[in-house]
Structure formats: C-alpha cells, structure tokens
A and B are shown apart, each in its own frame.
Chain A
Amino acid sequence: MFLVLKLFASGLGSMARPSRAEINTPADYDIYYLQLLAKQRGSPMWIPGPDMNLPTEYRRDGIRIGDVGILCRSEGFSFLFNIFLPADHPINEGKVPSGFEPFEASNLRHELKKQVVFGPKSYLTSASVSTSSNMHSSYVSGFYGVEDVHESVSSAV
C-alpha cells in the first residue's frame, strides 16, 4: 500500500487527470481477460492469489477443485465454500448453507488429472505480441506496435 501511494505521488505533478484516450481505453483486467481467454485454458485470473482473509489452510493451497465462488474479472475469485469438505472443516466452517451435505468424493480420487503443461519459464501472450526469448537476462520480451488499426490491446502471463 505504501508503495502504491508513492507512485501516485510521483505521478501527480505530471498528470492531474487521465486524458480522453485513457478514459476510453479498456480496463487492464478486461484486456487481460479477453486476450488470454483465447488460449482456451479457462478464465484468466487478473488476481491469481487467494483472498488474504481466508484461513491459512486455504491460502496455502489457494483455489481448489470443488470450490464454489463468484468469479469476477476485476476482483478475481470470491470463495464461498467447498463441496468436498464437511461443514465443520475449518475452510467451510460458518460458510455453508444449512443442511449442507458435501459431495461424496471417494469415488472421484481416480478421476483427478494432474499434469505439468507449463514448465519453468513458460509464457502465454496474445496473438498481437511478437516475442523474443533469447535475451541475456529475460525469458520473454514482447514488442507490440500498430500502424493501421485505431486501437488494439495485448497481454501476457
């Protein structure tokens, strides 16, 4: 938070209000979501980290299979409860509907697929980004320039 304020302060002198072009530009989280949705890996998460108010046990793993929650482009995933955990589990305690019965998960253990699709130093970029990865200190570098179109967007993770 301190660092954010510092940046704000540093920018105030040169920029009192956003320009018209900046107001019309889509929000960063919209750019990110729409561009990386095309990668067909599900919803790209603008906020990848778990809610810091959740129990430590939840935060250590982050979002897990069986989580029910509200998904929002700008705010990320808002956890409600998990269907595989009992009502009195620390992660679910006080968060489930009355009469909640967890899903019987014992049969599903063999149906869980775990893979490494992205190895170290992998990345995804939207189609408009031209990348190079042979630089000394970086593993992805994207150049993006447009000549003919009025406005365009790109993103990377």
Chain B
Amino acid sequence: MPNGAITEDLMCRKSIKKYLAKNAETWYDFVSDVRGREFNNGDIRLVLGFDKVSSWGIATSACSAGERVHLEFRNTGDISQTYVWHCVGNGNGRVGPCDQEMQGIITLQEADRPSPLQNQSVFLRTLNFYVSGECWMNHQIRSNDHRSDSAPPGSHHGGSQPGHQAGSGAGGLDGGDLGGGGSYPTSGGANFHATQSGLSVSRAPAVHYYKSVY
C-alpha cells in the first residue's frame, strides 16, 4: 500500500440488521429472478467497512519443498512513484490500479497527482446474511425451472453451503466463508509495472505465462 489506506466502518449495526431481516427474502428473489444472477445462500453481502487505497501491489507464491521465492516491491526510481514486483522463483505479483481503470473517472487536474483517487478496496468488511431454509428451498425449486443444474457453472462458488437459519436475517460480521474457486493455472514469476499513466509488463527470468483475471 504505497500511499497508505483509509479505513471506514459503520459502527451502528442493530438497525441495519432489522432492515436486512425485513428485506432479505425480497432481495434474494430480485437478484435471482430479475437480475438473473446465480449464487449460494449467504453469497449476498452488505458492506459495512473497508480499507481503501489509491495504489496497491499484491503478490502470491506457492512453492514445494526446497524451493525459495524472492519477491521485492521495488520503486522504479522515477518521479511518478511507481512500483514493480521483482519475482525470483514461483511468485506472481500484480500492481494497480491500471491506467485503463482510471480513464474517464479522473479530472485533468487529478491526473497530474501521483495518486488521484482512493477507490481501490483491499479489504471489505461485510454483514453476511442468509434467508431461511424454506425460502432458499423455494428459491432453488423456482430456479431449477430455468436451469438443470443446481451448482452454478463458472460462478467460482464452491465449498460449503452456509447453515440455514430459522428465519431470514443477518449472520455474522466478517469477511470469511467465501466459496472457493475454479482453478486457474498459476503463473510463473513476472514483473508487473503499473503507473498512473500506463501499464507495462516486462519479462522476468522465470516467466512462463500469465493468465489474466482482469
């Protein structure tokens, strides 16, 4: 987080939970039937807090016995205060936001600043809510009239079904219990270099290929 983060949280949750309990079933029906989205019970969240940044670098690595990975978040040294991941070994680094994301949403004056907008959320704190077992069953029966499979293809929501509650309402406040995913192949080490004015990528010693998630 080169420019730091701003943290915001809504502290008063009681009245929000009441509002949720009143509306959750309608929302589930709406999101499924009108918006046409596929999801599991508990996938719909209400945001109550976040950590937002204007620029970020994210790196992951996975290695087996005996391997060693070196990841370095390095300043490119120019005046634009841009960073790049240098990866040696099986690491993968990304930086953002890319120029394309900011196009059309920043003013000309803002474009001159090194970090114009804090619109990138690196952590989200959400209120997770479920609808009752009966409501969810009805919802699924209705949904199955339109599709033959109950597991949404390509939705990347694997894993466990959340437990059903006695009535619709709010669950715990955390960010956890997100479904797992389909499996993308992991990429080799790569350097990613994003600036506020452009994105460039250069090859690293161990580059194999990169599967984009953008």
Contact = CB atoms under 8 A, between A and B. Distances in A.
A46 B121 CA distance: 9
Interface string A58-76: 0111111111111111110
Given A65-B10, A65-B47, A60 B117 contact: yes
Contact of B49 (A23, A37, A65, A95): A65
Given A65-B8, A83-B46, A95-B35, 10 more contacts: A29-B181, A42-B174, A44-B123, A49-B101, A65-B48, A69-B47, A72-B155, A114-B7, A116-B5, A118-B4
A146 B185 contact: no
Contact of B208 (A14, A48, A59): A14
Contacts, number: 344
Interface string B15-40: 11001000100110111001101010
Q: Which 4 A-B pairs have the closest CB atoms?
A: A43-B175, A42-B175, A11-B209, A62-B119
A118 B119 contact: no
B186 interface: yes
Contact of A154 (B61, B66, B185): B61
B108 interface: no
Contacts of A113: 7-11
A152 B210 contact: no
A90 interface: no
Interface string B117-141: 1111111111000000000000000
Contacts of A32: 58, 60
B11 A112 contact: yes
Contacts of A122: 1, 4-5
Given A65-B49, A67-B46, A118-B51, A111 B30 contact: no
B74 A138 contact: yes
Contacts of B105: 56, 59-60
Contact of B16 (A4, A59, A103, A157): A103
Contact of B210 (A4, A42, A44, A116): A4
A25 B201 contact: no
29 contacts: A3-B201, A11-B207, A15-B209, A21-B64, A37-B175, A39-B123, A45-B122, A59-B101, A60-B105, A62-B117, A65-B50, A68-B44, A70-B37, A71-B175, A73-B180, A97-B26, A98-B30, A111-B11, A113-B11, A129-B71, A137-B75, A139-B2, A139-B73, A141-B73, A142-B70, A143-B70, A144-B91, A145-B67, A157-B58
A88 interface: no
Contact of B65 (A64, A120, A138, A148): A148
A23 B122 contact: no
Interface of B: 1-12, 15-16, 19, 23, 26-27, 29-31, 34-35, 37, 39, 43-53, 56-75, 77, 83, 91-92, 96-97, 100-101, 104-106, 117-126, 155-157, 174-176, 178-188, 190, 199-201, 203, 207-210, 212-214
A109 to B, nearest CB: 10
A138 B72 contact: yes
Contacts of B106: 60
Given A3-B200, A29-B213, A52-B101, A144 B68 contact: yes
